[in-house]
Structure 1
Amino acid sequence: MVRFKNRWLLVEFIPISQTNTPIKPGSSQLDGKIIWNALKQSVLSNFGDTGWGAVGLSLTVKYYSPMTNVCIIRVAREHHKIAWGALTMLTVIDGLRYIPNVVHLSGTIKHAQLAAIAHNREVVARYRTLAKTPAAYQDSYDTYLETSTQEIEALQD
């Protein structure tokens, strides 16, 4: 029996504001299905039907957090560079501009989970720094970190 080998991409979608107003955490309208459709269109427009044929069956969005705009994407090991290239060339999702930042590439879901949890903690620390709150301050971010950690750890291959 041959095992199906995957690559796991941890991607942060950084929103670009059209105005000079700062973008609030959690104001994103994205979800996993919208990201998957945008990624599909990017693969089709940049790599054609051949590129989509290579990654289409294995491409899935396993997790998305609207608070931190972090996403875990699974793709086949042989074709992960096509998915990564399509992510890099993706600029508009559902009419809004984003910069996709591939934070981590992993061969196992466990390492992707660990990287996602660590990245969520870094993003929340950035939010707290912008709000000028002390690190020991109890706020809604604490409950978010707990629930997101449980959601990420519950992911199965």
Structure 2
Amino acid sequence: MVRFKNRYLVLEAIPIDGKNKSKFHMKPQALYSAILEKIELLHGDFGVAAVRNGFLTKYCSEKTQVAYVRARHGPHKLVASAIPLVTKIEGAQVTLKTIYTGGSVMQCNKFLRDYHIKELEKTLPLIKDEDERKKVQESFLCFRQVGEERSNINP
């Protein structure tokens, strides 16, 4: 039996329209479809066929707009090349940014925890209201560990 290696891409969705930032909710199925559409546009049928086996959206956070995407080792390069081209998810204008590529969900969780702490350190000095500070701290630091939840989205 052959072991297939996977790569996990940690993505951040940045809504372009600042007014709709709180209204934008990234759904796993919509992210999956948007990325696959751009892979087809960029790499054609070969790219879709190479990526489709083993490609899924593992996790999407509504609060932090962060998602995990799994792809097999090798075709993950095709996925990574198509991610910057995604400009719309369910009609909302967004910019997708790859912030980390890891070999396991545990490494992605560790990176994301450290990433959130750094972002929190940048944000907290700008906030004057104590209640607002607590809300920001909760939104940054209360993300679920992806390995703990077992809900994989794969159409």
Q: Give the share of equivalent positions with the same residue, in percent.
A: 23
Structure 1 pair 146–29 and aligned structure 2 pair: CA distance change class (3 A): closer
Q: Is 2:20 the partner of 1:32?
A: no
2:113 equivalent among 117, 121, 124: 117
CA distance in 1, matches of 2:128, 2:19: 15
Q: Is 2:134 the partner of 1:139?
A: yes
Structure 1 pair 141–78 and aligned structure 2 pair: CA distance change class (3 A): same
Give the secondary structure class of the aligned counterpart of 1:86.
helix
What per-residue deviation string (whole Å, max 9, x for no partner) do you get for residues 44-67 of structure 1? 111111100000111111111111
Q: Is 2:60 the partner of 1:64?
A: yes
Match of 2:146 in 1: 152
CA distance in 1, matches of 2:114, 2:129: 20
1:15 Cα offset (Å): 1.0
CA distance in 2, matches of 1:123, 1:33: 27
Structure 1 pair 90–46 and aligned structure 2 pair: CA distance change class (3 A): same
**TM-score, length-scaled by structure 1:** 0.81
Q: Which amino acid aligns with 2:81?
A: G
CA distance in 1, matches of 2:110, 2:139: 16
CA distance in 1, matches of 2:89, 2:120: 23
CA distance in 1, matches of 2:57, 2:26: 12
Which runs of no fewer than 5 residues in structure 2 stay unpaired? none
1:129 Cα offset (Å): 4.2
Which runs of no fewer than 5 residues in structure 1 stay unpaired? none
Q: Kindly report which structure 2 residues correspond to 1:6-85, keeping only aligned pairs within 5 A, or say none.
A: 6-17=6-17, 21-22=18-19, 24=21, 26-85=22-81
Structure 1 pair 76–127 and aligned structure 2 pair: CA distance change class (3 A): same
Structure 1 pair 120–146 and aligned structure 2 pair: CA distance change class (3 A): closer
Q: Contact 1:15 / 1:23 at 8 angstroms: preserved in 2?
A: yes
CA distance in 2, matches of 1:146, 1:153: 16
What per-residue deviation string (whole Å, max 9, x for no partner) do you get for residues 24-46 of structure 1? 4x432211111011111111111
